[in-house]
Amino acid sequence: MPQITFKQAIHDAMVDEMRCDPKVILLGEDIGAFGGLTETTIGIIEEFGPERVLETPISECGFVGAAVGVALQGWRPVIEIGLADVMLVAMDQIVNSAAKMNYFYDGRASVGMVVRAWSGFRRSGGPQQSQSNEAMFAHVPGLKVVMPSTPYDVKGLLRASIRDNSPVMFYESKGLYPLVGEVPDQEYTVPLGVAEVKREGRDVTVVALGAMVPRALAVAETLAREGVSVEVVDPRTLRPLDTPTLVASARKTGRVVIVHEANVFGGFGGEIAAVLADEAFRSLKAPIKRVGGLEAPVPVSPSMESTVVPTEQRIVEAIRAVL
């Protein structure tokens, strides 16, 4: 299979879906001739024109609200909202409108839209450009939340999300855009709600989200040289959550460490820990450990930021603690 970057896989997924379905449109700031702030929309306006690649003003509440409206009319908008931090400006449109339309109209109306957001630590991004707020939206009934970690997954999950009839919050970890991986040329999708065991192991399970998946795999490789067998599981979607795969891994190894970029308190790792405590308690040999960002706004200073970010060393320490 050809190897492409995470960023290119996002671009290709949108182009493929726009070619397959004339109802798929893109909305966002600077996504036309400029090609998007992450270069994921380069060349798309040249092929599909400004009627399907809609450059918006800097008004997230405005164009997200417009996307809800056109989705109710049968279009499939894909919104490039930019930084996940900025989604908070459109909280009312996402949480009080998009998420509840299907319920309001007894299943006779739906908002099939995708909100693409760049999540996690951004080098010197500071407190307002490095947040991970996936747990906020995973808490809302009616929303689906996706967080891929490989080029293969991001393309397959994005295509599946565009075809889904529910509003999907699609989190793209900033640190993964340069990541290279194998992606097939032929059409495929990755179903929402299906986790993947990225590495088999027997001693401890590491459940990692987004950009923490490559970091967990690197730790697993390091500890393998010491005789510690680490299983790495990537949920891929947070809502719906593939509980059976997570529970099966926890029962298999008896020890669990959960890793994400968001700070630990109130993070999605707490939900995973609760599920495992409820359904795999008798198989656990040690308390579940969580590793995340420190409990502080993300500093701008690179040296201070590197202290807040979850490191491989902190993951290793958590694994040794449960062992």
One-letter amino acid at 305 equals: E
> Residue 96 is encoded by which pair of tokens?
């009080």
- With left for phi above 0 and alpha for psi between -120 and 50, is residue 35 left, alpha or beta? left
> Residue 265 is encoded by which pair of tokens?
């308190």
Distances (CA, A) of 251 to 74, 208, 244, 259: 44, 17, 10, 18
**Residue 6 — φ and ψ, nearest 5°?**
-55, -45
Hey, which bits of 209-299 come out as E strands? Answer: 230-234, 237-239, 256-263, 289-293
Cα separation, 245 vs 233, whole angstroms:
8
**Residue 120 — φ and ψ, nearest 5°?**
90, -170
Fold of the 3-182 domain: Rossmann fold (3.40.50)
Q: Is 260 helix (H, G, I), strand (E, B) or coil?
A: strand
The domains of the chain are located at 3-182, 196-322
CA 310 to chain centre: 17
CA 125 to chain centre: 19
Give pTM, 2 decimals.
0.95
Do 196-322 and 3-182 have the same topology in CATH? yes
pLDDT at 287: 97
pLDDT by position in tens, the chain (length 323): 899 999 999 999 999 999 999 999 999 999 999 999 889 999 999 999 999 999 999 999 999 999 999 999 999 999 999 888 899 999 999 999 999 999 999 989 999 999 999 998 777 777 777 789 999 999 999 999 999 999 999 999 999 999 999 999 999 999 999 999 999 999 999 999 999 999 999 999 999 999 999 999 999 999 999 999 999 999 999 999 999 999 999 999 999 999 999 999 999 999 999 999 999 999 999 999 999 999 988 888 888 888 888 999 999 999 999 99
pLDDT at 26: 98
- Top-level class of domain 196-322: alpha beta
pLDDT at 305: 83
Q: How many CB atoms lie within 10 A of CB 13?
A: 23
